[in-house]
A and B are shown apart, each in its own frame.
Chain A
Amino acid sequence: NAGVTQTPKFRILKIGQSMTLQCAQDMNHNYMYWYRQDPGMGLKLIYYSVGAGITDKGEVPNGYNVSRSTTEDFPLRLELAAPSQTSVYFCASSSIAGGEETQYFGPGTRLLVL
Chain B
Amino acid sequence: EDQVTQSPEALRLQEGESSSLNCSYTVSGLRGLFWYRQDPGKGPEFLFTLYSAGEEKEKERLKATLTKKESFLHITAPKPEDSATYLCAVRTNAGKSTFGDGTTLTVKP
Contacts and interface: CB of A to CB of B under 8 A. Distances in A.
Interface residues of B, number: 23
Interface in A20-36: 31, 33, 35
A44 B95 contact: no
A40 B101 contact: yes
B51 A99 contact: yes
A81 to B, nearest CB: 22
Interface in B83-97: 87, 89, 91, 95-97
B95 A105 contact: no
Task: Name the 5 nearest CB pairs between A and B, nearest first.
Answer: A42-B99, A105-B43, A43-B99, A42-B101, A103-B46
Contacts of B89: 42-43
A103 B36 CA distance: 9
A4 to B, nearest CB: 8
Contacts of B98: 45, 59
Contact of B43 (A42, A59, A108): A108
Interface residues of A, number: 27
Contact of B49 (A59, A102, A107): A102
25 contacts: A31-B95, A33-B97, A41-B101, A41-B102, A42-B4, A42-B6, A42-B89, A42-B100, A42-B101, A45-B98, A48-B95, A56-B95, A90-B44, A92-B44, A101-B34, A102-B46, A102-B49, A103-B46, A104-B46, A105-B36, A105-B43, A105-B44, A105-B46, A108-B42, A108-B43
A40 B103 CA distance: 10
B49 A100 contact: yes
A48 B95 CA distance: 8
Interface string A70-103: 0000000000000000000010100000011111
Contacts of A48: 95-97
Most chain B CB within 10 A, of A50, A103, A105, is at: A103
Contacts of A105: 36, 43-46
A43 B96 contact: no
A99 B97 CA distance: 17
Contacts of A101: 32, 34, 49, 91
